[in-house]
């Protein structure tokens, strides 16, 4: 479960004084998952009653979604997630799984739309936390070479053995960042591992680190299913909302989110999925020509 902060109109005055703003916690039942809550609060004299909001949120105060531009007072620093549950303060929900999974699914769709021979394509998954161990099978028919970078290759050993048994392919495991330098497509959870000399399309949810000179694909807003889009409060980021539904409420349908437009870092134009596939095709054709 989680809570979305929703800011309603300014609290009305009563005989020259503001009526106390009492936050209300409302239960919402999304299709296909556990409930979440909408926490409605009103401003008074231009300020939000943060203490009352935290009190109303209760245990959900560490799993909050805030409208764009709304920042709660900074919480005390916590050494761990468990300690954060005990310390006072409001904390924004930080997705851990779905963004990387959606990056993988988007890369898969680009590979499916590509006209380049699958045997020519080199694909690498950079998974520092072992999130995608059960998600690689759809990539098998789309790439001639499939690699995984992970600091602990043993996490992927069972997945590698399963792909070997089912398809007779060798999933190459490596703990060296050099393994993805020449890949056509890279799905990565952490751009700090890159050198900046990578030539392929890089699909990543990492928005905190830049990678100058590389083709880092950034996804636009996702297309939420209509039934879930109606439940997303105004001002809440749709992708963050989808991640909370998936990771905290178990709404598996969020795995199938699609994006219609994409952009590269430091490039103003937007691209469709088919145009990304065309860029991949040109890169492969040029490699064959000059190789």
Residue ending a domain, choose from 86, 115, 147:
86
Residue 233 falls inside a structural domain? no
What integer pLDDT is reported at residue 11 of this predicted model? Answer: 58
Q: Is residue 242 part of a domain?
A: no
User: Which residue segment(s) compose the domain that 203 sits in?
Assistant: 98-220+260-290
Q: What are phi and psi of 17, to 5 degrees?
A: -125, 150
Domain end call among 66, 86, 106: 86
> For residue 179, what is the domain's CATH number?
3.40.50
Asked if residue 206 and residue 64 are part of one domain, the reply reads: no
Distance of CA 36 to the CA centre of its chain: 19
Q: What does the pLDDT look like over 72-104, one tens digit per residue?
A: 998 877 767 666 676 788 999 999 999 999 999
Q: Is 251 a domain residue?
A: no
162 with 213, same domain? yes
* DSSP summary character for residue 230: T
Is the pLDDT at 236 greater than 80? The verdict is: yes
Q: Are residues 267 and 179 in the same domain?
A: yes
| Whether 20 and 140 share a structural domain | no
Domain final residue, candidates 35, 54, 86: 86
In a domain, 92, yes or no: no
| Co-location of 169 and 281 in the same domain | yes
- Is the same domain home to 107 and 184? yes
Residue 130 neighbours by CB distance under 10 Å? 15
Residues 80 and 105 both lie in one domain: no
105 within domain boundaries:
yes
What is the share, in percent, of the chain residues with pLDDT greater than 90? Answer: 70
Number of H helices, E strands in the chain: 7, 16
- The reply to whether 42 and 170 lie within a common domain is no
From residue 241, give the alpha-carbon distance in Å to each of 44, 60, 71.
Answer: 27, 15, 17
* 78, 26: one domain: yes
Each residue's pLDDT tens digit, 24-82 = 999 999 999 999 999 999 988 788 999 999 999 999 999 999 999 999 998 877 767 66
Count of beta carbons in the 10 Å neighbourhood of residue 20: 11
Average pLDDT of the chain to the nearest whole number: 90
Helix (H) or strand (E) holding 210, with range, is none
Angle, alpha carbons 30-34-39 (nearest 5°): 70
- Which tens digits make up the pLDDT trace of 115-155? 999 999 999 999 999 999 999 999 999 999 999 999 888 99
What pTM does this model have? 0.89
> How large a percentage of the chain has pLDDT more than 70?
92
pLDDT tens string 258-273: 998 999 988 889 999 9
Same domain, 102 and 169: yes
Closest to 102 in 3D by CA, of 198, 239, 276, 264: 239
Q: DSSP string of 9-54?
A: SPPPEETTEEPP---EEEEE--TTS--EEEEEEE-BTTB--HHHHH
Is 165 inside a domain boundary? yes
Give the model's pLDDT for residue 48: 92
Domain count, the chain: 2
Which two tokens mark 102?
């959606």
Model pLDDT for residues 144-187, shown as the tens digit of each residue: 999 999 988 899 999 999 999 999 988 999 888 777 778 999 99
Same domain, 55 and 158: no
Q: What phi and psi values does residue 141 have, to the nearest 5 degrees?
A: -75, 0
150, part of any domain: yes
Residues 125 and 266 in one domain: yes
Residue 246 resides in a domain:
no
């Amino acid at each position: 479960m989680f809570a979305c902060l929703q800011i309603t109109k300014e609290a009305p005055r009563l005989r020259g004084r503001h009526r106390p703003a009492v936050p209300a916690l409302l239960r919402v039942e999304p299709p296909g998952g556990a409930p979440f809550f909408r926490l409605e609060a009103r401003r008074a004299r231009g300020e939000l009653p943060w203490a009352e909001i935290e009190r109303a949120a209760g245990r959900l105060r560490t799993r909050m979604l805030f409208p764009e531009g709304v920042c709660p007072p900074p919480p005390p620093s916590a050494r761990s997630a468990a300690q954060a549950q005990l310390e006072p303060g409001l904390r924004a929900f930080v997705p851990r799984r779905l963004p990387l999974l959606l990056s993988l699914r988007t890369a898969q769709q680009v590979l499916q739309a590509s006209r380049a021979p699958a045997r020519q394509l080199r694909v690498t998954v950079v998974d520092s936390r072992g999130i995608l161990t059960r998600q690689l099978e759809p990539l098998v028919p789309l790439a001639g070479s499939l690699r995984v970078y992970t600091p602990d290759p043993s996490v992927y050993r069972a997945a590698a053995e399963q792909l070997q048994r089912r398809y007779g392919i060798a999933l190459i495991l490596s703990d060296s960042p050099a393994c993805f330098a020449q890949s056509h497509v890279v799905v990565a959870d952490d751009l700090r591992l890159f050198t900046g000399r990578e030539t392929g399309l890089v699909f990543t949810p990492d928005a905190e680190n830049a990678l100058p000179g590389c083709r880092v694909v950034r996804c636009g807003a996702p297309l939420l299913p209509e039934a879930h889009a109606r439940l997303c409060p105004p001002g809440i980021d749709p992708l963050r909302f989808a991640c909370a539904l998936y990771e905290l409420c178990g709404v598996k349908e969020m795995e199938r989110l699609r994006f219609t437009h994409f952009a590269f870092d430091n490039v103003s134009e937007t691209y469709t999925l088919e145009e990304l596939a065309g860029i991949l095709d040109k890169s492969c054709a040029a490699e064959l020509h000059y190789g």
